[in-house]
Structure 1
Amino acid sequence: MWKKISLILFIIFYGFAGVNHFLNPETYEEVIPNWLGDAGVINILAGVVEIAVAVLAIFKPTRKYAGWITIAMLLAFVISHVYFIQLGHCAGGVCLDPWIGWVRLVVIHPLLIYWAYAISKS
């Protein structure tokens, strides 16, 4: 039962996260370093990949791909998390306490990677 709940939450989480890239692009674009390229294009690609991951996770034959693609995506997102910390923990006009950026990078991000790994095994 917990696996099913985890899977449903994973699908919802990444589906909404992907859509949010299109609804609030400025939040994401601001934490994409210039040296990576066009922040608008990268943001759109990230949103598309997150939506695709949610869809892939729905179906058992493609679930392992959803997990591994998510892991790769999350590893790529480390760049933005570090950049967010370097920016002084501000993005999209919102500034957070410095510890929040560190908790996201050191605690939450690894937990999301583990969650994706667990999904790839279900």
Structure 2
Amino acid sequence: MIRVLCLLLIGFYLFAGSYHFINPGFYSDLIPDYLPYHSFINYVSGVLEIVLGIGVAFPKTRLLAVKGIIVLLILFIPSHIDFIIKGSCVESAFCVSPWIAWLRLLIIHPILMYWAWMIRKTDAYDT
């Protein structure tokens, strides 16, 4: 089961990171207005997600990659809060009901952190 969760996590971050380049407008407009250089932040986030996803694949780098994913998810919290403040709607990305935006921040985000933490052991993928 841990192996499947590990593979899914790798795929999730490889896809999410790649999507920063496939559809940069989707993420760029989710970056809070008070932060400069939206394009730069978007692309760096994408690269980090890809690198960390690849890092999870290797037992020697898995723990560091998992910690990096958790830090990255923490760094994304202001973006989630800004999205809620904007009414849970960004024209170029998507609009959702406010309760879904809160669910994403308070439930899904911690689940993503826990998911990463669950597969941190270097032998998790190999068993």
Which consecutive residues of structure 1, in runs of 5 or more, have no partner in the other structure? Answer: none
Displacement after TM superposition at 1:94 (Å): 2.3
Q: In the alignment, does 2:23 pair up with 1:20?
A: no
CA distance in 1, matches of 2:119, 2:93: 34
Tell me which residue corresponds to 1:67. Answer: 66
Tell me which residue corresponds to 1:102. Answer: 102
Share of identical aligned residues, percent?
A: 41
Secondary structure of the residue that 1:37 maps to in structure 2?
A: coil
Tell me which residue corresponds to 1:4. Answer: 3
Displacement after TM superposition at 1:4 (Å): 0.4
Aligned residues: 121
Moved more, 103-112 or 21-30: 21-30
Tell me which residue corresponds to 2:76. Answer: 77
Tell me which residue corresponds to 1:113. Answer: 113
- 1:9-42, CA deviations, whole angstroms, 9 ceiling, x for partnerless residues? 0000000000011111111111111222111000
Secondary structure of the residue that 1:34 maps to in structure 2?
A: coil
Tell me which residue corresponds to 1:58. Answer: 57
Greater helix share, 1 or 2? 1
After TM superposition, the score normalised by the length of structure 1 is 0.94
If asked which structure has higher relative contact order (CA below 8 Å, sep 6+), I would say: 2
